[in-house]
Chains A and B, each alone.
Chain A
Amino acid sequence: MSQVESMRGAKILTPKRRGIDAGRDGSPLPSLIFDGRDGTHVPTLAKPGTETSPDIDVEEKLKEAFSRGWSVIVWNDPVNLMDYVVYVFKTVLKMNEKDASRHMWEVHQKGKSVVARETREKSELIIHRLRGFGLNATLEQA
């Protein structure tokens, strides 16, 4: 992909994080720790002191943000060319030709295809890039 697209993506990766920016009033900022026992990164909030209770809302938001429970769905449309869709999958999703073609056929024949399951931020970036190429892509939480 072009440099412009990458830079554009970086903006998506740094959305305003209202729930997380909790330390601006001088209160201690919670630090992130990752519990990878089940092979996945599960973010939790480390308590900076025993008297500080974790912010449940923040914790939930972080869990949601870091779980790979977000599906990127590409929908069929009457205009995009088959070759073009394959090219976009290869360019944006770094699929090999066979996978890109398989997903393209799935979109064409079944009306849609789940092309990625990612964290919320990564999924948003993918959606943005797919839409930048004119594909009808939506984001859904499983």
Chain B
Amino acid sequence: MTCEPIAPDQWRLSFTEPEAGFLVNVLARLGKHYQDDVARMPPALRAYWQGTISRGGVADQDDLKESQEVLAEARAELRAERLALVENWMREYELAEERDPWKVEISSAERDEFIAMLNDRRMFLALELGITEEDMEAAPNQIPQEARRVSILEIDVLGHFILVMLGPQIYRP
């Protein structure tokens, strides 16, 4: 995958065929997740989508309920917006005449949303499987369960996509 600036606030992303295939698979799973009922999700994912407002470390206080509701409402809207975004990307892929490489031109704002959406998938996988810092740092052959190992690889590949789009960010003191 490459990401090159083509004009102020305009970027061209380019994916090889296997990368594009992987990405479309990720988008399909993301689309399904955005449509899933939050109430039926595992607790960690439910908490991720609802957000928390607390006072002195204590949530569920009566006077904070209104803010909590507003936050949960906004999070639900975000899921709907991300679903629309997934559908746009899928449509873009379906309509593409050339898929090796698959090239997409996007604005900076669209790039931001795409990055956030890919990061969603990384977060869902991690929350669903309870992936820890140790898991992320371990070599793949040290992870015995296959589902976990595959998920970590997916998290890593998506992380690579994100880093390609971001370029160097960190100021190291």
Contacts and interface: CB of A to CB of B under 8 A. Distances in A.
A83 B115 CA distance: 12
A20 to B, nearest CB: 12
Nearest to A141: B55
Interface residues of A, number: 43
Query: 6 smallest A-B Cβ distances: which pairs?
Result: A2-B109, A101-B171, A83-B169, A78-B133, A79-B126, A141-B55
Interface stretch (A26-34, A39-47, A130-138): A130-138
Interface in A69-115: 77-84, 86-87, 90-91, 97-98, 100-102, 104-105
B128 to A, nearest CB: 11
B133 A1 contact: no
Interface residues of B, number: 44
A15 B166 contact: no
Contacts of B163: 81, 83-84
A87 B166 contact: yes
A100 B71 CA distance: 25
B118 to A, nearest CB: 9
Contact of B56 (A104, A120, A124, A141): A141
Contacts of B74: 8, 11-12, 128
Contact of A124 (B53, B77, B159): B53
B168 interface: yes
Most buried by A among B70, B163, B169, B172: B169
B144 interface: no
Contact of A98 (B55, B116, B171): B171
B115 to A, nearest CB: 8
Nearest to A65: B67
Given A2-B110, A83-B163, A120 B67 contact: yes
A80 to B, nearest CB: 7
A139 interface: yes
B87 interface: no
A138 B58 CA distance: 12
